[in-house]
Structure 1
Amino acid sequence: MASFGRNATGTVHVWCRSATQAGLTAAVAGFNKANPNLQVELTPVPDAQYVTKLATAIRGVSRRTSWTSTTSTRSCSSSARRSPTSPTS
């Protein structure tokens, strides 16, 4: 399995459509096992709500978010009170 970065740590929150959860669960479990310092949290979103939640999250943080990139990590800093990855936004 490919490495995400030698010193990468933390949690990556990933949304998926409920219909695709079964196929992704094994991949996430394998990644989490291979990368104990960097974990993926999979959050299934009901299929009928997925596009709306994704569009709302993008619209809600696009003006308040700045992305920075380094050779080993990618991070996002936002002034938003809620996490842009919250499925309940």
Structure 2
Amino acid sequence: MSYWNYRIILKEDKRLKAKLYQIHEVYYSKKGKIKGWTENPVAPYGETKKELKKELKYFQNALKHPILKEKKKGKKTILVEKKKI
């Protein structure tokens, strides 16, 4: 069964000459390999305050995982774990 979660992705904005840490939905294969991710960052939402609070917990959970970074591999863009400095 495939699944998804929220992850932090580091993107470099050449126009702003800045590094941006953003939360994206990341999708995985049955074997846990990254299959894809949202092009744009996502924002928390809910139809009630309770739903929004739950959504924010999922966002906080993204902080527990390694940061991902987009990397070109041939003609494809892939996600790799950002190396700690």
Return the TM-score normalized by structure 1. 0.26
Higher relative contact order (CA 8 A, sep 6+): 1
Pick the structure with more helix per residue: 1
Return the TM-score normalized by structure 2. 0.27
